[in-house]
Structure 1
Amino acid sequence: MTLQGWILILGFVGILLALTKPVGSWLFALYEGRRTPLHLVLGPVETGFYKLAGIDPTQEQGWRRYALHMLLFNAMLMALTYAVLRLQGVLPGNPQGLPGLPEHLAFNTAVSFTTNTNWQSYGGESTMSNLSQMFGLTIHNFLSAATGIALAFALFRGFARRSATTIGNFWADATRVTLYLLLPICVVYTLFLIASGVPQTLAGTVDIATLEGVKQTLALGPVASQEAIKMLGTNGGGFFNANSAHPFENPTALTNLVQMLSIFVIGFGLTWTFGKAVGNTRQGWAILSAMLVLFLAGVTVTYWQEAAGNPIVHSLGVAGGNMEGKEVRFGIAASALFSVVTTAASCGAVNAMHDSFTALGGMVPLINMQLGEVVIGGVGAGIYGFLLFAILAVFVAGLMVGRTPEYVGKKIESREVKLAVLAIAILPLIILGFTAISAVLPAGLAGPLNKGPHGFTEILYAYTSGVANNGSAFAGLTANTPFYNGLLGVAMWFGRFFIIVPMLAIAGSLAAKKYTPESAGSFPTTGVLWVGLLIGIIAILGGLTFLPSLALGPIADHLAMISGKTF
């Protein structure tokens, strides 16, 4: 580890902390439905959309109707994307003449982008036409991100409102987030990427000659526009197979830093928005503090392990850190930081191959996802997932002080606790269940390229990434098969919507409750003790649930590495 590396890491966190309140304030304006300076230009667009769709944005919805509209909207988008991918070969915008996708790959990809997972069982430049990238996939990058933020707003209203029967209007929330947050930032972001050397063209390829005189054909396309929302919306699906390790997606150290910042910036801002919504910004800072402790712990372990390198390689006389699978233009520190950022959020973009990390260095991204990606987390999904853990934590605190638990003025009773447990239990149930199936069936065992613990980790990582709606891959699993495309598609759908529905039920239940003011017997939820309890609940639940699988995979892999064994 170097001083320069730590300056990068701490500087990255410092920039985000400085942006937290400004971004949170803008999000709070959208949460309340207030006018912003952009309404002068985009207000008529918003109004026209409501009229065209027959929507009254002032008509609020109860949690069941909010959930129903959200589910129908996403199901229809998924069906549309499936059709586009299957018919790709006969649709325009296909300069390379690429054929339509097989049924199982089209299903997997449609589910993946609908659920904000963006898992890719394909190579983007060799599989997707420009039309499929723009109309089939990029649209989901915007709308799945907008859905996540809208759902966070709904839960915020559950905590903030008193004796209410509604939690907002899904169509109004998603529209405002798209028009006044995601689109404007992405226009500026796209221009920055173009100026940095990222292609933005409808051309399919270009022929060049290298300095040695070798002719090559390079894939091109509308890369910059997809790259912007891919990062800002914590989507992660790369235009190219190498994702953000490709110089056409991430050409410089500056674009690498900006990409990492854009992955986290909305998640940071939403913590402040939550505090403002419940009338106490210290609540938001407490949540962010717990997230940052977990994040910095992960960065420290990953950077330490990657900088230490592989003792097996050292024994061959090659000193230094582990540069396998990393881009020289980024180095170890920036690659380690990117890996933790992208898996702490539900992004999944990668600028290095996690399969090439050391065993413990690769375990941290795995743990980040197994915790439910609540360490900042995806846009919207991170904060509402974290609040589910907060409900459990305050329930435990209530047991300790011997009274009914309360959180931000709302009593947490059995209904909320049961729903929170139901939502959180989906992750281990699907991750461990599907991993076990794949680790014993011939179709599952045909996927990993490695033997022993590392091969097991490749399977475990795939389902963890799918259920957690992250989308990053361990880069050692052949997943483009009917078996893996099918199971991963089901895993992604469960991981997204089987958490959302119980969460919205909690929002509806909390909104109907009266406000309960703090008293001398209330457990404080803004101090160091509360932050420690939050961290403990998250770490213990994740550790107890996934430790056996980690012991079979990355921990066993690490023990083999330090003993000089390979598989």
Structure 2
Amino acid sequence: MLQLALTIIIFLIIVIPVGRYMYHIATWNHTLADPVFDRLDGVIYKIGGVNPHQGMNWKQYALALVGTNAVMVAIGYLILRIQSVGIFNPNNIGNMEPTLAFNTIISFMTNTNLQHYSGESGLSYLSQMLVIIFMMFVSAASGYAACIAFIRGLTGKTKDDVGNFFADLTRITTRLLLPFSIVGGLLLVWQGVPQNFDSNVVLNTLEGTFQTIAMGPIAALEIIKHLGTNGGGFLGANSSTPLENPTIISDLIELYSMMLFPGACVITFGKMVRGRRKKDDKDDDDKNSPKGGASGGQLSTTSSAGTSHGPRLNDHSLTAAIYGWEGRTIFLAMGIIFLVGLSVCYWAELQGNPALAKIGLSQSMGSMEGKEVRFGIAQSAMFTTTTTSFTTGTVNNMHDTLTPLGGMIPLLHMMLNVVFGGKGVGLMNMIMYAILAVFICGLMIGRTPEYLGKKIEGREMKLTALCIIIHPFLILFFSALAVSTSGGLEGITNPGFHGLSQVLYEYSSSAANNGSGFEGLADNTYFWNITAGLAMFFGRYLSIVIQLAIAGSLMRKRFVNETVGTLRTDTLSFAVILVFVVYIFAALTFFPALALGPIAEHLTLWA
């Protein structure tokens, strides 16, 4: 328990300054590294013919995002199909099969990183770098860019400007993902993670057999897979192997890497909302000022390049960064759900396996099946809950070997897809539930629901309902298809309840763009490659487009003044309401499926 508590406390300490830094990037405020990054970004803008100060409406932003990703998908698919060429291919890896290449490229472009292949035997170093590592950067940057544009739409006062996608993509990559990856990658190399272009090493073991030790640019992939909440491993066994995750220190580096930016997004959201309110207050003071000028508080709208992009506020309070306005409510609601899930997962794994106890095997240490001794139950439960809450997908233990209730937690958190989430997705999805919550509460008190000073009306509620429904529809539809067709049934390797859990996990992971799996599933077939690829594609892009549409709709609305009858959405009570709304929706949607999977397996095991 002390391990878990200290891990969370350290996360809360480091996430605050990163959230402030991300806020400065989102609002084009000055940072100390601007003299370097401005030059680098300028070169990229010049090569790409991009005007970074040309704003886009939500439709243009969504089209730019989807179109850019589509071009990268086409190029990446081609590389996977011709990877047998002799460039950076010392292990003579062959070309990837068409449906597997389709699944792989969709997986990495949607930031899912679901792997129906084993990295050390399925990809050349060329593919690992030009497809996998490259996609890990741009897919994560695309998601964070969409999140920032979404927040601008909710908090901005313009009618049709959510920013410039190409500028956001560039700034997030150069100012956030690249520098953190360089530092984190060096730390992993320090802990023993390989970084080279050597061919695999074959050794003669003491038993007289041969063992192949994988080589390659592992550290470079390892750090961005966590920072970008990607999750795909260089090796098939992912971060449970000593080559990807050799020590408890490397485990903590990877753990904090995948928690850092999703948590920082919530802080950025809170600061942007708070910044807008401060700007509104200043504008009101200016109107009431005798000279119509500034009245106190420093506020600047000029970036280091001398162009106006948004307010820069003179606010140095770390407490306000995480406990400021709506950001506090969202962070608290996510934190509550995360802690509940972590507690259940940790408790379930401590109980051990009663079937082993019946034959005289001690279960005093809990269930260590599928776990690494160097991490133990506590850090395995923490990693499991984190990777599926922050939709990363990396694993330091095998989820297929978790106890039924322990395995239900990562499954449930992917079904919810709101617990921080990766690349800003959790924040965007949680705000959908916040809109739903204010709508329900508004009906109860007889008022038009409002969120962030904008009225929530029919158009926004229809889009919100559609966005919320898409995720469970993809999971349940494809799961039903898998258990009712021969192609799906052929991949299920476990009978009974656990087999259904495998199917639910596969499509929950795909639709949530998570990428982890119950690895007992025989999923490298035409059926599973195509259906999982479709679930990943629709789970990613439909949600983003709809959420940008909601932001665009709210941008055009006038701000309404708060009254005594206004439902406050920045309070502890609303955070509790939000948690209950999420759990109630999950219970109504997923409980029947969970009851036939992990819950039934648990009851049978402990009968």
Within 2, Cα distance between the matches of 1:528 and 1:49? 44
For 1:351, which of 375, 396, 412 is the aligned residue? 396
Question: What RMSD, in angstroms, separates the aligned Cα atoms of the two structures?
Answer: 1.2
Q: 1:243 deviation in Å?
A: 0.2
For 2:369, which of 305, 324, 346 is the aligned residue? 324
Paired residues of 2:333 and 2:579 also in contact (CA < 8 A): yes
Instruction: Give SS of 2:471's match.
Output: helix
Instruction: Give SS of 1:154's match.
Output: helix
Report the equivalent of 1:88.
83
**Taking structure 2 as the reference length, what is the TM-score of the superposition?**
0.90
Q: 1:330 deviation in Å?
A: 0.7
Report the equivalent of 1:380.
424
For residues 480-523 of structure 1, the C-alpha deviation after alignment (integer angstroms, 9 at most, x for no partner) is: 00110000000100000010111000111111122223211111
For 1:23, which of 10, 15, 18 is the aligned residue? 18
Letter in 2 for 1:354: H
Stretch moving more, 199-208 or 336-345: 199-208
Paired residues of 2:274 and 2:325 also in contact (CA < 8 A): no
Pair 1:188 & 2:183 matched? yes
Report the equivalent of 1:410.
454
Letter in 1 for 2:350: A
Residue correspondences, number: 557
Q: 1:542 deviation in Å?
A: 1.2
For 1:12, which of 7, 20, 29 is the aligned residue? 7
Paired residues of 1:462 and 1:474 also in contact (CA < 8 A): yes
**Taking structure 1 as the reference length, what is the TM-score of the superposition?**
0.97
Within 2, Cα distance between the matches of 1:163 and 1:149? 21
For residues 21-73 of structure 1, the C-alpha deviation after alignment (integer angstroms, 9 at most, x for no partner) is: 21111111111122322222222110111111111010000000000010001
Within 1, Cα distance between the matches of 2:257 and 2:535? 27
Paired residues of 1:108 and 1:488 also in contact (CA < 8 A): yes
For residues 94-129 of structure 1, the C-alpha deviation after alignment (integer angstroms, 9 at most, x for no partner) is: 111110000000000000000000000000001111
Q: 1:208 deviation in Å?
A: 3.4
Pair 1:285 & 2:280 matched? no
Paired residues of 1:401 and 1:523 also in contact (CA < 8 A): no
Pair 1:300 & 2:295 matched? no
For residues 401-447 of structure 1, the C-alpha deviation after alignment (integer angstroms, 9 at most, x for no partner) is: 21111112121111111111111111111110110111011111111
Paired residues of 1:389 and 1:537 also in contact (CA < 8 A): yes
For 2:445, which of 389, 401, 408 is the aligned residue? 401
For 2:378, which of 325, 330, 333 is the aligned residue? 333
Instruction: Give SS of 2:599's match.
Output: helix
Q: 1:184 deviation in Å?
A: 0.1
Stretch moving more, 277-286 or 312-321: 277-286
Alignment of 1:188-337 (within 5 A): 188-210=183-205, 215-279=210-274, 281-320=324-363, 321-337=366-382
Within 1, Cα distance between the matches of 2:73 and 2:586? 31
Report the equivalent of 1:499.
543
Instruction: Give SS of 2:84's match.
Output: helix
For residues 515-567 of structure 1, the C-alpha deviation after alignment (integer angstroms, 9 at most, x for no partner) is: 2232111111122210111101111111110111101111111111012xxxx
Q: 1:340 deviation in Å?
A: 0.4
For 2:405, which of 354, 360, 364 is the aligned residue? 360
Letter in 1 for 2:465: V
Instruction: Give SS of 1:50's match.
Output: helix
Paired residues of 1:289 and 1:531 also in contact (CA < 8 A): yes
Instruction: Give SS of 2:388's match.
Output: helix
Within 2, Cα distance between the matches of 1:249 and 1:241? 10
Instruction: Give SS of 1:424's match.
Output: helix
Report the equivalent of 1:69.
64
Letter in 2 for 1:550: L
Letter in 1 for 2:244: E
Instruction: Give SS of 1:335's match.
Output: helix
Decide which structure has the larger Cα Rg and report it: 2
Instruction: Give SS of 1:162's match.
Output: coil
Alignment of 1:75-154 (within 5 A): 75-154=70-149
Paired residues of 2:107 and 2:533 also in contact (CA < 8 A): yes
Report the equivalent of 1:3.
none
Stretch moving more, 73-82 or 162-171: 162-171
Within 2, Cα distance between the matches of 1:338 and 1:174? 29
For residues 294-331 of structure 1, the C-alpha deviation after alignment (integer angstroms, 9 at most, x for no partner) is: 00000111100101111111111112211111111111
Q: 1:210 deviation in Å?
A: 4.2
Within 2, Cα distance between the matches of 1:232 and 1:91? 31
Paired residues of 2:184 and 2:253 also in contact (CA < 8 A): no
Paired residues of 2:273 and 2:325 also in contact (CA < 8 A): no
Report the equivalent of 1:432.
476
Within 2, Cα distance between the matches of 1:152 and 1:243? 28
Within 1, Cα distance between the matches of 2:10 and 2:448? 39
For residues 224-265 of structure 1, the C-alpha deviation after alignment (integer angstroms, 9 at most, x for no partner) is: 010000001100000000000010100001111121111111
Q: 1:211 deviation in Å?
A: 5.4
Paired residues of 1:355 and 1:476 also in contact (CA < 8 A): yes
Structure 1 moving runs of 4+ over 4 Å = 209-215
Stretch moving more, 93-102 or 155-164: 155-164
Within 1, Cα distance between the matches of 2:437 and 2:205? 59
Within 2, Cα distance between the matches of 1:553 and 1:195? 42
Report the equivalent of 2:515.
471
Letter in 1 for 2:240: A
Within 2, Cα distance between the matches of 1:34 and 1:123? 43
For 2:166, which of 163, 171, 176 is the aligned residue? 171
Letter in 2 for 1:254: I
Within 1, Cα distance between the matches of 2:86 and 2:582? 47
Instruction: Give SS of 2:203's match.
Output: strand
Instruction: Give SS of 2:274's match.
Output: coil
Q: Which structure 1 residue ranges, 5 or more long, are not aligned?
A: 1-5
Within 2, Cα distance between the matches of 1:205 and 1:172? 40
Stretch moving more, 409-418 or 553-562: 409-418
Report the equivalent of 2:279.
none
Alignment of 1:52-63 (within 5 A): 52-63=47-58
Instruction: Give SS of 1:519's match.
Output: coil
Report the equivalent of 1:32.
27
Report the equivalent of 2:586.
542
Letter in 2 for 1:538: V
Within 2, Cα distance between the matches of 1:139 and 1:246? 23
